[in-house]
Amino acid sequence: MKKADNFFKKNSKGLLVLIDPDKFNPETILNTNTSDVAAYLVGGSVLKKGVTETVLKALKTLSSKPVFIFPGDETQLAKPAHGILFPILISGRNADYLIGKHVLMAPQLDVLKLPVIPMAYILLSGGKRSATERVSNTLPLAMAPLTELQHTVRAAYYLGYRLLYLEAGSGAKNSIPAKVIQCVRRIWPHPLIVGGGIRNKSKIKAAFHAGADWVVIGTALEKNPMFVKKLLPLNM
């Protein structure tokens, strides 16, 4: 499990494929078995009970890449994963997503004994109301002006977080612009994940060039399981 613990600490970059277990398509996994895809994230805002475990088991048979649960809530924890991204929604002011859900998950984490990776999670306005916004009942931060975002990122740093996920929301109309990623990169010295609304090669490359270490692809692959295969080689 050392590998999973250190996964987001390494000075490396790659694509992360987000699997919504309710929309799981094995074809997606077979078509993302490339060195540019570093790991799978499994989770969603609201899921049918037990579906996460079923999908994790299926994933294990299809791929040897690391798999991290990215839980939307306490019902999405299960054993067959390499680790758990433990997100705290610091862009919002809903106590459930700042501590309440974590309290509900803690006893399950004690039992699962998987590596748990604390992650500051910032939702930005991606041009349409996202599932994260709706389910968490929080408002996203604006992409301009950037002051609130900058202060939030620095707060995450001083709170001791060492992994940050900048999120425009699944299926976002507008992905996070390079200048916003660059601005965060300048003030965030640790691994940075960027996702939401990234649907083509130029946006992936722009996110990496702006300073993202990890770029998340979800909806584009749900719509076209060949998406990653078609954009290779990525030459990040």
Indicate the residue among 83 and 195 with the shorter CB distance to ligand 1GP: 195
| 31: DSSP letter | T
Residues 6+ apart with CB under 8 A from 116: 83, 84, 86, 109
Indicate the residue among 122 and 216 with the shorter CB distance to ligand 1GP: 216
Q: Taking a C-beta distance cutoff of 8 angstroms, is the pair 177, 202 a contact?
A: no
Of 217, 228, 231, 234, the one binding ligand 1GP by CB under 6 A: 217
Of 86, 156, 196, 207, the one binding ligand 1GP by CB under 6 A: 196
Determine, following the binding rule CB under 6 A, whether residue 92 of this chain makes contact with ligand 1GP: no
Of 53, 73, 167, 213, the one binding ligand 1GP by CB under 6 A: 167
Q: What SS3 string covers 84-133?
A: EEEEEECCCCCHHHHHHHHHHHHHHHHHHCCCEEEEEEEEECCCCCCHHH
Q: Taking a C-beta distance cutoff of 8 angstroms, is the pair 115, 5 a contact?
A: yes
Cα 70 from Cα 187, distance rounded (Å): 25
The residue sitting closest to ligand 1GP, measured at its beta carbon, is 195
Indicate the residue among 3 and 223 with the shorter CB distance to ligand 1GP: 223
Q: How far is the CB of 174 from ligand 1GP (least distance, A)?
A: 11
Interaction site with ligand 1GP (CB under 6 A): 18, 167, 170-172, 195-198, 216-220
